[in-house]
Homo-oligomer: A and B are copies of this chain.
């Protein structure tokens, strides 16, 4: 295992490389939402519970810089910004989907039925 240093970042293996790009708490929730459609900044902020404004901005900026996400700014008042997946981002979502399925398996092994929990949550939301 060598020391691989690129752009002043040290990483030890290809998986590490992926996790430096897609890891952290917020990249995945954002990419996951973008998988089907374009989202506005505020929509994302409302939909992703607990994300701070700082982390949403930072996450989107990094995803854009790494070529996973496309940012479109409309010169309107008030301003509108839309985010969508690039081709590279679409590929990343495939990987995330794979990882997600494995996650669901692992959770099931521990007796956690994630999808049932999600439905519960959705119902609560509706009741409000």
Q: Which residues of A approach B to under 8 Å, CB–CB?
A: 1-4, 6, 12-19, 21, 23, 25, 28-29, 32, 47-50, 88, 95-96, 98-104, 106-107, 109-110, 112, 114, 117-118, 120-121
Contacts and interface: CB of A to CB of B under 8 A. Distances in A.
A14 B117 contact: no
A79 to B, nearest CB: 26
Copies in the complex: 2
Contacts of A16: 25, 28, 103
B49 A13 contact: no
Given A13-B100, A14-B107, A99-B95, A23 B19 contact: yes
A12 B25 CA distance: 8
Contact of A21 (B21, B25, B32, B106): B106
30 contacts: A1-B29, A1-B47, A1-B49, A2-B49, A2-B118, A2-B120, A3-B49, A4-B117, A6-B110, A12-B25, A14-B100, A14-B101, A14-B102, A14-B103, A14-B107, A15-B28, A15-B96, A15-B99, A15-B100, A17-B103, A18-B99, A18-B102, A18-B106, A19-B23, A21-B106, A23-B23, A95-B98, A95-B99, A95-B102, A98-B98
